[in-house]
Amino acid sequence: MGFPHPSHERETPVLSKYFGDPEARTLAGWRARGGYASFEKALGMDPVEIQNIVKDSGLRGRGGAGFPTGIKWSFMKPDGKTHYLCCNADESEPGTFKDREIMRWTPHALIEGVAIGAHAIYAETAYIYIRGEYSEPIRIMQAAVAEAYAAGILGANAMGTGKRVDVHIHRGAGAYICGEETALMNSLEGRRGNPRIKPPFPAVAGLFGQPTTINNVETLAAVPHILREGAEWYQQLGREDNPRSRGTKLFSVCGNIARPGNYEVTMGFPFGEFLNDMCGGALPGREIKAVIPGGSSVPILTREEAENTFMDYEGMVASGTMLGSGGVIVFDDRQDMVRQIARLARFYAHESCAQCSQCREGTAWTTRILERISAGQGNARDFDTLLSIADNMTGKTICVLSDSCATPVVSGLKKFRHEFEAKLGPDHSRGVVPVLLTSNRTVAA
């Protein structure tokens, strides 16, 4: 085909089919590839009918939590209130860069999915909230939205049907927390991007206090394909023995791997084959040591665990981790896991919005302790302290950023404890404990 995609014969390119094809970016090019036919069809359908097709397809949210999309849409009732759709294009999870490619190569696929989604939840207005650093995707998305308005696809008389569908592009300001759905809404409203306490859930009181649905880019970009090909077609993509994860999924692969990039496979693809064959395995002369399979917030797998995992929601859970955002980060035998985990903790400490004390304090102390261990000044009691802080950070806060910081620490300590132990300082056997929580003095325990 001449495009970089598919880059491997075992891929199933649906969303990525036109990655690398500059003509698919333009409205004319998108229409020539069947674009906007699904939106036209959707405008002639009752929203409940669309919700049911999406329910039947088995599509689940690709933003991380995997909530069934059709069910989420069915929470939105025709109540006469103003409804909103927010497309979450914040994509700041370390290791994740799939939404960026959807926006760069197929902006109209996303606009079409957003427009269908808006109609399906009785909304006339949709916002695409794009990560601030994504300058090129923002420019491409803005140009595509302008083209869609000029052609009468969007606006007060969408596709000549008399129905209004407006789509606005909103540029974030570079805060990871604004990817959390309620922080995203606060940010859109011009407030500080702090997550909100739920309930009320967005479907009841979301953007500007109105019923709102938030969906990820990849989730929405799949919808035109489902409407065109049918729920049954989507349903049959996936592992035969797991009816709960259907369709295709984009995985972003980075780190110590021969062929990094975005790959689209059917749900349930064998992870061992994915890493060693599709992505080319370890770099020459190296061995894969560990893999974070779903963005930095999910538990770390050893190579052996990863190679025996299926790439779907249930397969990942069975291996003790999560599918998350599909950002695969690979570490080879050169990597110092303590240092890597400390880097992740520093990221979460920096991005905490600081509303919850468990998160504000926990991310900061976790970082300090890990960095101290990494510098060879740790002691054996630090491990218990880290686990105790992690416990206090899990399931107790307004959003799960706090849990996300604890997760790699707990799984790292469990699976790579020998690396932590090898870092302990000369005084560790005496149990010398720096009094971290109150001062920077060091005293004997």
Ligand X SMILES: Cc1cc2nc3c(=O)[nH]c(=O)nc-3n(C[C@H](O)[C@H](O)[C@H](O)COP(=O)(O)O)c2cc1C
Residues of this chain that bind ligand X (CB under 6 A): 61-65, 67, 72, 88, 90-93, 177, 179-181, 214-216, 219, 399-401
Residue 170 engages ligand SF4 in binding (rule: CB under 6 A): no
Cα 188 to Cα 88, 100, 111, 140, 181: the distances in Å are 11, 20, 18, 20, 11
Out of 360, 392, 421, 433, the only residue in the binding site for ligand SF4 (CB under 6 A) is 360
Residue 65 engages ligand SF4 in binding (rule: CB under 6 A): no
Query: Which of ligand SF4, ligand X, none is residue 179 near (CB under 5 to 8 Å by kind)?
Result: ligand X
Out of 356, 389, 390, 406, the only residue in the binding site for ligand SF4 (CB under 6 A) is 356
Burial of 271 (0-12, 13-18, 19+ CB in 10 A): buried
Query: Which of ligand X, ligand SF4, none is residue 64 near (CB under 5 to 8 Å by kind)?
Result: ligand X
Query: Which of ligand SF4, ligand X, none is residue 360 near (CB under 5 to 8 Å by kind)?
Result: ligand SF4
Residue 222 engages ligand SF4 in binding (rule: CB under 6 A): no
Out of 237, 291, 359, 373, the only residue in the binding site for ligand SF4 (CB under 6 A) is 359
Give the residue carrying structure tokens 């075992």.
10
Query: Which of ligand SF4, ligand X, none is residue 47 near (CB under 5 to 8 Å by kind)?
Result: none
Residue with the CB atom nearest ligand SF4 in the bound state: 359
Long-range contact pairs involving 394-398 (C-beta distance under 8 Å, separation at least 24): 396/356, 396/358, 397/356, 397/358, 397/359, 398/195, 398/196, 398/197, 398/355, 398/356
Residue 60 contacts by C-beta under 8 Å, 6 or more apart in sequence?
66, 67, 68, 69, 219, 245, 246, 313
Q: Tell me the CB-side half-sphere exposure of residue 68, using CA atoms within 13 A.
A: 16
Residue 394 engages ligand SF4 in binding (rule: CB under 6 A): no
Find the shortest distance in angstroms from Cβ 350 to ligand X.
12
CA angle 309, 395, 98 (to 5 degrees): 45
Q: Are 409 and 386 in contact (CB under 8 A)?
A: yes
Q: Structure tokens of 62?
A: 């690709």
Q: Residue 186 — left, alpha, or beta (φ > 0 → left; ψ -120 to 50 → alpha)?
A: alpha
Helix (H, G, I), strand (E, B) or coil at 130: strand
Out of 226, 401, 406, 410, the only residue in the binding site for ligand SF4 (CB under 6 A) is 401
Find the shortest distance in angstroms from Cβ 349 to ligand SF4.
10
Residue 399 engages ligand SF4 in binding (rule: CB under 6 A): yes
Residue 406 engages ligand SF4 in binding (rule: CB under 6 A): no
Amino acid at the residue 65: A
Residue 121 engages ligand SF4 in binding (rule: CB under 6 A): no
**CA quadruple 96, 101, 102, 103: dihedral positive or negative?**
positive
Residue 364 engages ligand SF4 in binding (rule: CB under 6 A): no
CB nearer to ligand X: give 214 or 344. 214
Residue 398 engages ligand SF4 in binding (rule: CB under 6 A): yes
Interface with ligand SF4 (CB under 6 A): 177, 195, 352-356, 359-360, 397-399, 401-402
